């Protein structure tokens, strides 16, 4: 950190020195001049009285990057089912690792996880590190963080990727803090430089800018990524890589949390799993008019999603929202109806295979990413589209 040093023996007129600061950060006491917390590091005092004030910048910390090797993926799972985001991260890790000649590691922790460990060998990881302990049966933050820390200290991966799930968002920052390193949450773009520095890009300031973040002086480099951002690799029929059982002392797995009961939430179909989505935007004038979107989605075998204004109006369930403050989706087809295309929304669906956008404004932002643009009023286009689909289904049924 930078700081300003005061050479007390050079002070001739304390009041003049005090008055030079526009933020009242310089004080005069019996012991001499001092600088308080109001200092903005503007260095006006240094320029005005260089014989009194000296700006000193501490040397930046450095790290031997050659000691850190590999890209590690935390394997998120529940009830012996690996979360799909973990496979997506393995696929991304493999692409980045190929650029720098590093291995891809998987970190799997839990109780009786042998079958999942074997399954990971079908996805191209070079080595799967397995911590199999009864104390890890349920996710509890203290033992899971201890295992994560133990893995990093033993293996020293340069990059660690974690899924942006409920567990991942709890675990990643706690582990990153133990290594006093950086963590970028909800990345939408990841890449790696030749010197192994990770390029982390994510929306910032409500999605108004895309922040490009580096962690050049610390290792490992942590990033969390939402589900449906990257593509998962194809499952191979053959296994590759190795399984490495890991040991950790029981004393490190103590937790103050006790799991007394597990109450399962009612399973509902999520828009994240839908292949076809019809998105309703603010062009819908009344809640009853959303029936057009639902009818179109039913005819196509898809689901209805909405934008934030409709959620705030109380017209839709928050779980149906697409965007930075909602869900990230990657269906085969999206039909947006009266959606303007703000970056906050686009960030949640711009990896869709086919995007058809309906909007009466020919300059709407949504057309910048749409594969097919339909310029017109949804109150004219949707009924006509629904009628055409019904007519087509009738003809097929009678042929």
CATH 3.40.50.620 occupies which residues in the chain? 65-253
pLDDT of residue 344: 84
3-state secondary structure 64-84: CHHHCCCEEEECCEECCEECH
Of 397, 60, 51, 106, the closest CA to residue 246 belongs to 106
- Round to whole Å and give the CA distance between 58 and 106: 37
pLDDT of 149-171, one tens digit each? 999 999 999 999 999 999 999 99
Domain 2-57 class?
alpha beta
| Under 8 Å between Cβ of 321 and 309 | no
pLDDT of res. 394: 63
Stretch(es) of the chain classified as CATH 3.30.70.20: 2-57
SS3 at position 394: helix
Residue range 212-247, pLDDT digits in tens = 999 999 999 999 999 999 999 999 999 999 999 999
- Cβ atoms of 335 and 356 within 8 Å: the answer is yes
Per-residue pLDDT, 398: 52
The model's pTM = 0.80
The superfamily CATH assigns to domain 65-253 is HUPs (3.40.50.620)
pLDDT at 359: 97
Residue-level pLDDT at 1: 64
Q: Where does CATH 3.40.50.1220 sit in the chain? A: 271-398
CATH of 271-398, one of 2.60.120.10, 3.10.180.10, 3.40.50.1220, 3.40.109.40: 3.40.50.1220
Going by C-beta distance under 8 Å and a sequence separation of 6 or more, which residues neighbour residue 360? 283, 338, 375, 376, 377, 378
């Amino acid at each position: 950190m930078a700081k300003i040093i005061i050479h007390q023996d050079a002070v001739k007129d304390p009041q003049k020195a005090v008055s030079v600061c526009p933020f009242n950060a310089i004080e005069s006491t019996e012991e001499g001049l001092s600088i308080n917390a109001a200092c903005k590091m503007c260095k006006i005092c240094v320029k005005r009285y260089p014989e009194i004030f000296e700006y000193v910048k501490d040397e930046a910390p450095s790290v031997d990057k050659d000691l850190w090797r590999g890209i590690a993926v935390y394997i998120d799972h529940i009830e012996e089912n690996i979360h799909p985001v973990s496979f997506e991260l393995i696929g991304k890790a493999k692409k980045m690792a190929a650029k720098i000649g590093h291995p891809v590691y998987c970190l799997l922790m839990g109780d009786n996880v042998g079958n999942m460990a074997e399954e990971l060998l079908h996805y191209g990881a070079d080595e799967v590190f397995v911590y199999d302990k009864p104390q890890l049966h349920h996710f509890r933050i203290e033992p899971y963080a201890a295992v994560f820390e133990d893995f990093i200290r033993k293996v020293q991966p340069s990059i660690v990727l974690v899924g942006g799930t409920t567990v991942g968002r709890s675990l990643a920052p706690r582990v990153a803090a133990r290594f006093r390193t950086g963590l970028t949450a909800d990345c939408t773009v990841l890449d790696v430089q030749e010197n192994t520095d990770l390029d982390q890009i994510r929306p910032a300031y409500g999605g108004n800018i895309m922040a490009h973040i580096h962690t050049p002086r610390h290792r490992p480099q942590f990033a969390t990524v939402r589900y449906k951002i990257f593509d998962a690799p194809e499952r191979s029929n053959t296994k590759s890589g190795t399984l490495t059982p890991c040991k950790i002392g029981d004393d490190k797995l103590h937790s103050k949390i006790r799991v007394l009961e597990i109450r399962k939430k009612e399973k509902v179909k999520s828009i994240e799993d839908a292949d076809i989505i019809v998105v309703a935007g603010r062009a819908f004038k009344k809640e009853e008019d959303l029936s057009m979107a639902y009818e179109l989605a039913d005819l196509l075998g898809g689901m209805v999603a909405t934008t934030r204004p409709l959620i705030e109006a109380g017209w839709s369930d928050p779980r149906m929202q697409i965007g930075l403050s909602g869900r990230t989706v990657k269906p085969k087809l999206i039909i947006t109806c009266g959606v303007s295309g703000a970056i906050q929304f686009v960030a949640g669906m711009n990896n869709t295979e086919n995007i058809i956008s309906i909007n009466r404004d020919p300059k709407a932002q949504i057309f910048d990413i749409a594969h097919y643009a339909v310029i017109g009023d949804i109150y004219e286009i949707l009924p006509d589209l629904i009628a055409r689909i019904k007519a087509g289904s009738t003809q097929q049924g009678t042929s």
